[in-house]
Amino acid sequence: MEKNDHICVVGLGYVGLPLAVELSCYYDVTGYDIDAALIERLKRGVNYNNDVDVGKLLECAESLTSAEEDIASCNIYIVAVPTPVDKDNVPDLSMLKSATRMIARYLKKGDVVVYESTVYPGVTENVCGAILQGISSLESGIDFFLGYSPERINPGDREHTVKSVTKIVSAQTEEVADRLASIYGSLNGGNIYKTKNIKTAEASKVVENAQRDINIAFINEVTVLMNEMGISIYDVLDAARTKWNFLPFTPGLVSGHCIGVDPYYLIECAQKCGLNAEMVGAGRAINNRMSSYVSNIITESLGGVAADGRGIRVLILGFTFKEEVNDIRNTKIFEVHNLLLASGFEVDIHDPYANAEEVRKAYGLELKENLEGETYNCVALLVSHKMYADMDKKTQLALLKKGGVVFDLKGIWKNIEFPQDTTYITL
């Protein structure tokens, strides 16, 4: 790092906030987000993501801003804004482009712009670089420099954090790559991997998550086959794991901002090259069908569509995209909920981690505050939070009407002996 470097992290979500907070322990950092309400909450130490130490957050609170002019003095910009897909699963680069245009208005000779957002190969240089160059009238690779360092944040994972994972860095020149390696390396003890160019780093990110998506898709596909044959996939997996090189993937609803999104960036890249990413697309199609598959199992267990449109009650346990996190982005539980509603059931949702205000804002749903006082025809355990895994039989049965159904997506209650008049179903 150079003596007068001033780093700006643009986008203070699941990726940018932990990075800004940790970097501020070593460097002069400004954290920017377009959401003024978010900045005000963070300044008070309120972080809905629960992914940073409150003490550290408050220490750097004064350097957080939603006023873009506050980034003018920075000379290294790290962009960590969302790159989702639209309703047609086409990559949406609008937020990335907007952040880039903002930076371009303040870009100076010698500045470095690093992207952490997921993109397909070529976006950093051909899309973002072109925007920066056009607005600033500076020349990319000569007057200012580009870099790419894919984020590897895993929400809720206290082991694989920004301070412990191997960080990939890339840049237009070796000198800038070394400079970025020094900055990121200060956080993780120098655990850095430099790729030969920016496109390689961009590709590594989408390939990582597409591979995981495909592996889960295989398990989801054979789950459907096993169930047709009356065999529990979890019993099969218990046996298969005894082989030393078996990969321990499990069936489920693939949600969140990465695995369910990033493969579409690889598909887009293939199409731009005149190719068809057949396996990647097939994996996405299989995983997207799981919401319908799960809702159909629940519906059939309750005798099909509710004829009178009311009176049959379902309780969904879990709404976040995976266990022990409060991240509700792209959660497939929403799809299951809507499909059950369409079948005429009354549906409640409980989740001890999901923020009720965020769920209301993003999905228009109200979460149950507690699990007391009401009973249901079906309890559908869809997210294996520890709270649910630790439930005793008395608590479980208190939620059920007589002759009720328990659907356990992850099989975490499969060793519990339920009463004979209770139907237990797992995959």
Q: Decide if 380 contacts 409 (C-beta within 8 A).
A: yes
CA-to-CA distance for 319 and 272, rounded, in angstroms? 36
Q: Decide if 405 contacts 302 (C-beta within 8 A).
A: yes
Helices (H), 229-312: 233-240, 262-272, 278-288, 290-301
CA dihedral sign, ordered 59, 61, 64, 69? negative
Q: Count CB neighbours of 2 within 10 A.
A: 10
Phi-psi region of 390 (alpha: psi -120 to 50; beta: other; left: phi over 0): alpha
- Strand-pairing partners, residue 148, are 115, 170
Q: Decide if 354 contacts 312 (C-beta within 8 A).
A: no
Number of H helices, E strands in the chain: 15, 13
Active-site annotation, residues: 258
CA-to-CA distance for 111 and 77, rounded, in angstroms? 8
Phi-psi region of 298 (alpha: psi -120 to 50; beta: other; left: phi over 0): alpha
CA-to-CA distance for 106 and 104, rounded, in angstroms? 5
Task: Name the residue with tokens 């319908």.
Answer: 292
Interhelix angle 174-188/16-23, nearest 10 degrees: 80
Which token pair is 51?
A: 């992914």
C-alpha to C-alpha distances, 296 to 15, 235, 413, nearest whole angstrom: 35, 22, 20
Q: Which amino acid is at 409?
A: L
Q: Decide if 242 contacts 313 (C-beta within 8 A).
A: no
Which token pair is 87?
A: 């309703």
CA-to-CA distance for 278 and 267, rounded, in angstroms? 9
